Chains A and B, each alone.
Chain A
Amino acid sequence: MIQLQHVSKWVTTGNVRTFLLKDINLEIKQGEFVSIMGPSGSGKSTLLNVIGMLDDADEGVYTFMEDDVFKLKEKQRGELHKHHIGFVFQAYHLIDELTVYENIETPLLYQSIKTSERQAIVADIIDRFNIVGKKDLFPPQLSGGQQQLVGIARALVAKPKLILADEPTGNLNSKQGEEIMQLFKQLNEEEGVTIVQVTHSEKNAAYGTRIINLLDGRIV
């Protein structure tokens, strides 16, 4: 599903080139659950953003489901990203001006899904995540764990094939974190969603099927 070949990314200050990612070769198959680990500043988020098509690399080839991502036009890339990828962040990144329901609904709006169908999908997922009672609240009114649940619900609502999660449990206590990991595992096993997560915790990494270690922008 994901294939990175000799991908490098750098920044130039003066004449010095600092590598953020260096010669990354990586293949992730459909249905895998991969954990990326490494010390702070090693390039984990950068790698995740490149995979999520939010960021460009300076060198190399990135193939996502047969498409050569770096050669695509912005619009086509937007389509790929919109339909196949869901994001989960450490800081949840919900829209504060929208209710829980609306936050979850928005990705479907952007995909122009019909009202009746949309309502059914959102109601479904709200049910499943057990947040019916919270659906008309605004994010600041929820606890961190609840916000992250909403964040995951939003990432899943459009039925993506790939979930990218950047330290999804970083702001949660261990019990909440465990719940989230259980959820990921279930999604991965029962629905075959491919998951790539960044984490600092060995325990959380163990939920995955494979661990990739990064150091100074390289896979070690």
Chain B
Amino acid sequence: MWRHYIKTAWRNITRNRATTLINLFGLSVALVAFIFIALWVQNELSFDSYHKDAKDILPPANVFLKQSDEQPMNGNKLLYHWENLLNKAPGIEDGATRILPQNFSGTVLNIHNQLFAEKSCAYVDDNWFNMFHYDLLYGDIKSFYANPFSIALTESKAKKYFGDDKKALGQFIKIDSNTYQIKAILKDNPANSSFQSDILIPLSAYLSNPSNYKNDYGWNNFNYLTFIKISPNANPANIERAAKNIFAQNKKDSTITLSIEPLTQWHFDNRSSISSMIGTRHGNRSSLYIFSILGFLLLFIASINYVNLTVARTNARTKEIGIRKIIGGSRMQLFMQFLAESLLFCSIVLAISFIVARLALPIFNNVTERQFTLSLSSLVVWKTLLGTLVLLVLLNGIYPALIIAGFNPINFLQGKSILKFKNVFLRKSLVVVQFVIAMVFIVGALVITLQIRYIQRSGTSYNRGQVVSFQFPFQTLKQYNYFNFDKDKISAYMQVIKNDMLKNNSVQDVELANASIDNINSWSSGGWDWKGRAKDFNPQVARFVVDAGTKDMFNIQLKEGRWFRNDNSDKHNYILNETAVKVFGIKEPVIGQYFSRSGDTGQIIGVTKDFAFKSMHEKITPMAIYTHEIKATFFVKIAAGKIPEAMKTIEATWKKFVPDAPFEYQFMNQAFDNLYKDDLTVSKLVLLFSCISIIISALGLLGLAAFVAEQRTKEIGIRKVFGASVRGITLLLSKDFVKLVIIGIVIAMPVAWWAANKWLNNFAYKIHLSWWIFLLAGILVLLIAFLTISFQTIRAARANPVKSLKTE
């Protein structure tokens, strides 16, 4: 029986080539997108869950430095002193473990006298490998801990530094003045791990330095991440309370708050800035939901094509179905036959999609910057594929099969086809739904593109072109100690470096600042003072310490007052941004008023127009700009067309002044784009999806138009014989479809508006949703739909009427 089903199915699939190709293409494309989304979602949801008892491991002291704002801001580095809790709180099972990430500007590795800056180093304590799961390839953990000066590193890093992962075992790496031996090679961190540190060193090596020990063993150090493991039945709330108590007893600071959550939740807690320290990005639940929905929608509109075209085709199969019933086929048997047909078809689609997805996986990994694998040996992949198949068959097969199974053969004998009245409405509705979705996608793509352009162009009114920035390494040079942290001496030294670069005419300008202008996250919330400040008002103030030339380099706009003079006369003076003036409540005239920072008192000499010094997801906050403080971020403006020459110059300078660290730099344009990396990824994906959705919808329309034209061949013939023009007939045939598309567009408007608004709310600064976006999208959709239909209807209208009438 099944052979019979499959055989007929195969013949039908191969007979109706056009329909088959439309369905195959639409479903496969949608399914590839769906598989990728499923991979990603599955990965996000499984974050960190592969550790044994993951739900009982708490990355506890999420220490939030609480601001006067209701929102927790900035760091949440975890307490080293968590171990105090262990003795006092009940329910802690396997103790705790700590990691001390080292990545401020990279650890410098000396391997065979070559220098590498490695950003994913971390120190881990004795319990780390007990608590967390790692796959060991070579070496062993015991000998890793046996000698503090040991290293465990991942496979790919071993390959990178030593050419071969196995040979790396036993090799030496020099860090500062200590030599470490590689004792273990680990499998790479999985894509769904929050821990992306590639080089691990026993914490005891770090603490063997007495000054490190002294420094860290206090309540002021927030650089450690501590994890505790609680027994399954312990109440996390109790432990959190105990932790809070311990913390409050030891550190009296109301600006710091503390909370705990399971490791498996950690990935989605974007309050935690720890992520950057151990190399992972936090997940975003809402984009997870959005993409899941997008995936299903794509699959859905492709399935609509299948259902519509299959049902349309059943008309042509009225005879087959009627006869099958007359010669004894039962309702169930016919249902199964058509379901089998869907099953076969969907399996083909699935196989094609899987192969395409495999081939396209590197591109997807590139876009998402993750390392997904799609291997048939993985159980998860099988589960996903089978689940998808079931879903596909349910979406595609059931409805047509039901219609067919319920067909009464007497209708066939009396010359009636299956779809007389009842299904037309449904088919039309499905087309409308398709175009609603396509329209929403296109509005989405437009809005996202516009918003990204707005971010790139208008929002930040400073000039980034041709500027390279690099950080003068604090750790590797000891000058700061030699200069005894004397600001003037350091500044003079930096001036020497500056001049060294300026000697070459490919370098137009060099300026120094305390942080990169695209992401100023240096701030403090105390010690600021101005006239009229309420005693307990201590808002957070971003600090931007600059050279006098910074204004011209970045074209920073002043609202009033003046910029710093290029001498020492403005040493104690300040420039604020507009928001600062507003938030501080400084009264007119602003210029000339008293302003002070930790006792360093001067005047406000100017106010800048607001510019985005952080990602535009965040609101612009008060900022104070001044000159007299340690600056170690270099901005180098390169003369037009001289990038290679300038880079050589800069690197030569670096080598001269920083011989013991590798040269690392970034172009400001790239750095800026990095801020919006996720947004750019989203925009690319949505653009891609909207193209797919409109193509699929148009294909569906094409199929239906062909079907209708075929059904109305006779009518068209008669009309032509009576003198109707090709144009007239084209219009007649297109009218119905165009109506459907317009209905779809109209319904889509509010939905698209709502969705776009929701997305834009992620940004503190955003474009205005004007009506023309919707109009443009509508026209675009209508145009594409109309062209598609015309393609088919013109052909039908042109057909020779005599021919068509003869065959009837």
Interface residues of A (CB under 8 A from B): 45, 49, 54-55, 74-75, 78, 81-82, 87, 93-98, 102, 105-107, 109-112, 154-155, 158
Contact = CB atoms under 8 A, between A and B. Distances in A.
Interface string B404-417: 00000110010000
B8 A98 contact: yes
B323 interface: yes
11 contacts: A54-B410, A54-B413, A78-B328, A93-B319, A95-B320, A96-B319, A97-B8, A97-B11, A105-B4, A110-B328, A111-B328
B1 A109 contact: yes
Nearest to A158: B328
Contacts of B328: 78, 81-82, 107, 110-111, 158
B326 interface: yes
Contact of B410 (A49, A75, A110, A112): A49
Contacts of A55: 410
B324 interface: yes
Contacts of A109: 1, 4
A94 B11 CA distance: 16
Given A97-B11, A98-B8, A110-B333, A49 B413 contact: yes
A204 B410 CA distance: 26
Given A49-B413, A109-B1, A97 B15 contact: yes
A94 B4 contact: no
B327 A87 contact: yes
Interface in B297-333: 319-320, 322-324, 326-331, 333
B322 to A, nearest CB: 8
B762 interface: no
Q: Which of B319, B322, B327, B413 has most chain A Cβ within 10 Å? A: B327
A111 B331 CA distance: 13
B326 A93 contact: yes
B4 A106 contact: yes
B12 interface: yes
B415 to A, nearest CB: 11
B326 to A, nearest CB: 6
Contact of A87 (B326, B329, B330): B326
A94 B323 contact: yes
Q: Which of A54, A81, A102, A112 has most chain B Cβ within 10 Å? A: A54
A112 B15 CA distance: 28
Contacts of B319: 93, 95-96
Main secondary structure of the interface of B (DSSP, over half): helix
Given A110-B328, A110-B329, A95 B323 contact: yes
Nearest to A157: B327
B587 to A, nearest CB: 89
Given A93-B319, A98-B8, A106 B15 contact: no
Given A54-B413, A97-B12, A112 B326 contact: no
A33 B15 CA distance: 42
A124 to B, nearest CB: 18
Contacts of B331: 74, 78
B413 A107 contact: no
B631 to A, nearest CB: 81
Given A82-B328, A95-B319, 5 more contacts: A78-B331, A87-B327, A102-B4, A109-B4, A110-B328
Interface of B: 1, 4, 7-8, 11-12, 15, 319-320, 322-324, 326-331, 333, 409-410, 413
Contacts of A74: 331
Contacts of A98: 8
A45 B412 CA distance: 13
Contact of B324 (A81, A87, A106, A112): A106
A182 B569 CA distance: 124
A176 to B, nearest CB: 21
Contacts of A105: 4
The 10 A-B pairs at the shortest CB distance, nearest first, are namely A82-B328, A110-B328, A107-B327, A55-B410, A54-B410, A107-B328, A110-B329, A97-B11, A93-B323, A95-B320
B370 to A, nearest CB: 47
A73 to B, nearest CB: 12
A106 B320 CA distance: 12
A217 to B, nearest CB: 16
Contact of B330 (A97, A102, A110): A110
Contacts of B11: 97
B4 A95 contact: no
A121 B435 CA distance: 53
A54 B408 CA distance: 8
A105 B8 CA distance: 13
A111 to B, nearest CB: 6
Nearest to B409: A54
Nearest to A160: B328
B113 to A, nearest CB: 76
A158 B328 CA distance: 10
B327 A106 contact: yes
Given A97-B12, A97-B15, A97-B320, A110 B327 contact: yes
Contacts of A95: 319-320, 323-324
A55 B328 CA distance: 15
A23 B322 CA distance: 29
Nearest to B412: A93
Nearest to A49: B410
Contacts of B7: 102
Q: Which of B15, B319, B323 has most chain A Cβ within 10 Å? A: B323
B756 to A, nearest CB: 49
A93 B7 CA distance: 20
Contacts of A93: 319, 322-323, 326
Nearest to A75: B330
B336 to A, nearest CB: 11
A92 B141 CA distance: 81
B333 to A, nearest CB: 6
Contacts of A112: 1
B154 to A, nearest CB: 58
B416 to A, nearest CB: 13
A155 B409 CA distance: 16
Nearest to B329: A110
B409 to A, nearest CB: 6
A55 to B, nearest CB: 5
A152 to B, nearest CB: 12
A165 to B, nearest CB: 13
Contacts of B410: 49, 54-55
A95 to B, nearest CB: 5
B10 to A, nearest CB: 10
B331 to A, nearest CB: 8
B330 A78 contact: yes
Nearest to A86: B327
Contacts of B329: 106, 110
A78 B326 CA distance: 9
Contacts of B413: 45, 49, 54
B11 to A, nearest CB: 5
Nearest to B322: A93
A75 B7 CA distance: 27
Nearest to A138: B11
Q: Which of B7, B326, B330, B410 has most chain A Cβ within 10 Å? A: B326
Contacts of A158: 328
B313 to A, nearest CB: 12
Nearest to B8: A97
Contacts of B324: 95, 106, 110
Contacts of A97: 8, 11-12, 15, 320
A107 B1 CA distance: 11
Contacts of A45: 413
Nearest to B317: A97
A112 B4 CA distance: 12
Contacts of A111: 328
A21 B409 CA distance: 20
Q: Which of A74, A93, A94, A154 has most chain B Cβ within 10 Å? A: A93
Contact of A54 (B1, B8, B326): B326
